[in-house]
Amino acid sequence: MLEKRPRILFVDDDPNTLEMLRRILHLHLDTVEADFRESVDSALAAIEGRVYDVVVTDVRMPAKDGFVLLQSLRNSERTRRFPVIVLTGDYDRTLKRRALDLEATDLLNKPVGSEDLLARIRSALRRGILGQPAFGRVI
């Protein structure tokens, strides 16, 4: 029986950041499905038709920010338990507190190191979603 590959959604308005995230995951693409989106609207559209095991989102984005995405996920019964890792280049404690108040699973500062990112994703995947057990083979 084939194990389900975890799906990870990355959201950041900066194409350079998304490219860096792609490079970090490059060696793990046989064990995960990764989706990269440049806006909250695009991410919300992707979420409409799929279940993600982890969402990694930037906070500061034009138009709608990562808090809008996080709040939308938490307000929906279907997505309420998606683990969300918030990325930020801002060291403002108020911003981080707000992310945690909105039930972000974890926080990472930019620029993010590959080992930090992979460790946080592994941790979120181990927690599992929707009451299901953690995945057996994880990045």
Is 18 in a helix, a strand, or coil?
helix
Residues 47, 79: contact at Cβ < 8 Å?
yes
Task: Please report the pLDDT score of residue 89 as a whole number.
Answer: 85
Residues 113-134 have pLDDT tens digits of 999 999 999 999 987 644 443 3
Question: Is 139's pLDDT higher than 80?
Answer: no
| Structure token pair of residue 77 | 């019964």
Residues 64-113 have pLDDT tens digits of 999 999 999 999 999 999 999 999 888 888 988 999 999 999 999 988 99
Residues 53, 125: contact at Cβ < 8 Å?
yes
Q: Give 62-70 contacts, CB < 8 A, sequence gap 24+.
A: 62/13, 63/39, 64/39, 64/40, 65/40, 66/11, 66/40, 66/99, 67/98, 67/99, 67/102, 68/40, 69/11, 69/40, 69/43, 69/44, 70/99, 70/102, 70/103, 70/104
For the chain, how big is the Rg over CA atoms in Å?
A: 14
Residues 121, 8: contact at Cβ < 8 Å?
yes
Residues 31-42 have pLDDT tens digits of 889 999 999 999
Q: List, in order of start, the domains of the chain with CATH numbers.
A: 7-127 (3.40.50.2300)
CA distance 88 to 65: 11
pTM of the model: 0.88
Number of other residues whose CB lies within 10 A of the CB of residue 74: 15
